[in-house]
Amino acid sequence: MEQKKSSNVVWHNATVTRKRREEMNGHGGVILWFTGLSGAGKSSLAHAVEEELHKMHCHTFVLDGDNVRHGLCADLGFSAEDRIENIRRVGEMSKLFVEAGVIALTAFISPFRSDRERVRSLVPHGDFLEIYCHCPLDVCEQRDVKGLYKRARAGEIKDFTGISSPYEAPVDPELAIETGTLSIEDSVAKVMALLRERGIVRE
């Protein structure tokens, strides 16, 4: 655990507990952590799952890799150190959403296994569901929605995951989805099945 810079802080226990928030929401709080290469379909899947959950009147929020870099992590670059800090901040934010009884969906490359495990350690067992969006590098490059792979191959982008920086795939994720071949509808169905199996949501 990191040493706090100030010792003059005391945790204040709220009277409105997570359990009470979840009872009011009608579902559990959880982190759905979508990880995979750029172009693997993480954001598309996260938002599609949120749409499905919204129809069920669930309380949700998507934390997207690009979006948080416009605000919460606007001061960070893409060095290994900055990537670690980026995921640390998102992990702490996600933990707060879980305490609020919200289903937090995060779409981040999050290339380092240790960073994802650190986020997992922030919340009780079962509150972090790692969803590996597996898509072969060549398929991600063919998609190249943002033109990033082309620029990375040209040397215009340094430390680009999959090209000049490593991606450490999950060893034992709660769910692995072949997003290179599976339709978005079938991918959403797999995530929803996991949520029902874990008792996070009910019909």
Contact 90, 63 (CB under 8 A): yes
4-8, 22-26, 116-120, 145-149 — which is least confidently predicted?
4-8
Q: What's the mean pLDDT in 159-186? A: 95
Place of tokens 């990880």: 35
Is residue 167 scored above 60 in pLDDT? yes
Interacting residues of 138 by C-beta distance below 8 A, sequence separation 6+: none
pTM over 0.75: yes
Token code pair at residue 101: 């009884």
The pLDDT value given to residue 1 = 43
Partners of 60 in the beta sheet? 103
Judging by beta carbons within 10 Å of its beta carbon (0-12, 13-18, 19+), is residue 183 exposed, middle or buried? exposed
Interacting residues of 24 by C-beta distance below 8 A, sequence separation 6+: 101
Mean pLDDT over each residue of the chain, to the nearest integer: 92
Torsion angle, alpha carbons of 66, 72, 76, 78, to 10: -30
| C-alpha distances out from residue 59 to 37, 42, 103, 105, 122, Å | 27, 20, 6, 11, 21
The pLDDT value given to residue 5 = 66
Rounded-to-integer distance, Cα 131 and Cα 142, Å: 22
Main-chain phi, psi angles of 157, to 5 degrees:
-120, 120
Determine whether 110 is an active site residue: yes
Determine the longest span between alpha carbons in the chain, in angstroms. 56
Interacting residues of 155 by C-beta distance below 8 A, sequence separation 6+: none
Task: Kindly list the structural domains of the chain, giving each domain's residue range(s) and its CATH number in brackets, ordered by start.
Answer: 21-197 (3.40.50.300)
Other CB atoms within 10 Å distance of the CB of residue 202? 10
* Active-site residue, selected from the candidate residues 38, 94, 110, 165: 110
pLDDT tens for each residue of 1-36: 455 566 777 777 788 999 999 999 999 999 999 999
Rounded-to-integer distance, Cα 162 and Cα 183, Å: 23
Contact 22, 59 (CB under 8 A): no
